[in-house]
Amino acid sequence: MASRLNPYITFDGSARQALEFYKQVFGAGEPTMSTFGEFGQPDAPNADRIMHGMLETPGGFTLMCADIPPGEEFKPGNNMSISLSGDDGDELRGYWNKLAEGGTVAVPLEKQMWGDEFGMCTDRFGIAWMVNISGRTES
């Protein structure tokens, strides 16, 4: 898979509704969604909120989104990042290193509970980035 660059929007509990809305706007298929409960405690408060959602449109657009993680403050106006994702680890780590240099790392680029390497940083110009390197291998 080639690397992908797309917007990643954070919501305060309305990611599921937003994905359904954008599906209607762009005439896309079904969005994919994973909840916080699927990767933690299913009976925890807000377990049904979206940890990661994605919508791919017939026109080639990709939109990713999530609800704000439990315990974090929602900040309208600062709720959008740019996502870089794919399976070329060397390429994506190179982008990560350059983006993080002189910036601030919020989540180090390392293996996560869903099996991928993931990191979040803000570059030296104040732009938020998310890098995800797929841990899946082709057989």
Q: Which domain holds residue 89?
A: 4-133
Asked whether the beta carbons of 85 and 132 are under 8 A apart, the reply is: yes
Total tally of structural domains belonging to the chain? 1
Q: Is residue 92 part of a domain?
A: yes
Would you give the distance in Å from CA 58 to the centre of its chain? 20
Distance between CA 103 and CA 123 in Å, rounded?
4
Tens digits of residue pLDDT in 76-88: 877 899 999 999 9
Distance between CA 78 and CA 89 in Å, rounded?
28
Q: Is residue 138 part of a domain?
A: no
For residue 120, pLDDT over 90 is answered with yes
Mean pLDDT of the chain: 90
CATH code for position 18:
3.10.180.10
Sorting pLDDT into bands at 50, 70 and 90, what band is 51? very high
Q: Is residue 54 part of a domain?
A: yes
Distance between CA 126 and CA 49 in Å, rounded?
27
User: pTM above 0.85?
Assistant: no
